[in-house]
Amino acid sequence: MDMTITSSAFEHNGPVPKLYTCEGQDISPPLAWSGVPARAKSLALIVDDPDAPDPAAPRMTWVHWVLYNLPANSTGLPEAVRSLPAGTLDGLNDWQRVGYGGPCPPIGRHRYFHKLYALDLVLPDLKRPTRKALEQAMRGHVVAEAQLVGTYQKGR
């Protein structure tokens, strides 16, 4: 079975509800996953937007959430997660803070990639890594990955 990540709040390639954005309550959406390989020792989650600042002329990928060392036997995160599973560590998003930062595109409809990685180890404490630092630490240790894409455009 392949590893999958889903949300009960939106379909793959579907719109992210306003509740989970800067125009709503800016809370994390519910996420669920399955099919984590038996040899996985931990999971990592990165949520980012490759369409920043303008989907017509993207110049950067904006990072919304970085988590790692999620337990390999975990099956998801609830809406508006406040208490992370035991052992889970935060990284820094591009607002230079930990935790979830919802979609808030300045222009156009952006895509938000919720990327789940199964790793063959539990990472050391990386002291609030950026996405780039986490990806470097994961290199050579990813045994499976899955992604869920949501889209969002601010109301007019």
Terminal C-alpha separation, the chain: 42
Please answer whether residues 105 and 90 qualify as being in contact, where contact means their C-beta atoms are separated by less than 8 angstroms.
no
Residue 120 contacts residue 45 (beta carbons within 8 Å) = no
Identify the structural domains of the chain with CATH numbers, from first to last. 4-152 (3.90.280.10)
**Tens place of pLDDT for every residue, the chain, 156 residues?**
699 999 999 999 999 999 999 999 999 999 999 999 999 999 999 999 999 999 999 999 999 999 999 999 999 999 999 999 999 999 999 999 999 999 999 999 999 999 999 999 999 999 999 999 999 999 999 999 999 999 999 986
- Taking a C-beta distance cutoff of 8 angstroms, is the pair 118, 144 a contact? yes
Burial of 51 per CB tally in 10 Å (0-12, 13-18, 19+): buried
**Would you state the pLDDT for residue 59?**
95
pTM above 0.75, yes or no: yes
Q: What is the pLDDT of residues 45-68, one digit of tens each?
A: 999 999 999 999 999 999 999 999
Beta bridge partners of residue 68, listed in sequence order: 44, 89
SS3 sequence of the chain: CCCEEECCCCCCCEECCHHHCCCCCCCCCCEEEECCCCCCCEEEEEEEEEEECCCCCCCEEEEEEEEEEEECCCCEECCCCCCCCCCCEECCCCCCCCCCCCCCCCCCCEEEEEEEEEECCCCCCCCCCCHHHHHHHHCCCEEEEEEEEEEECCCC
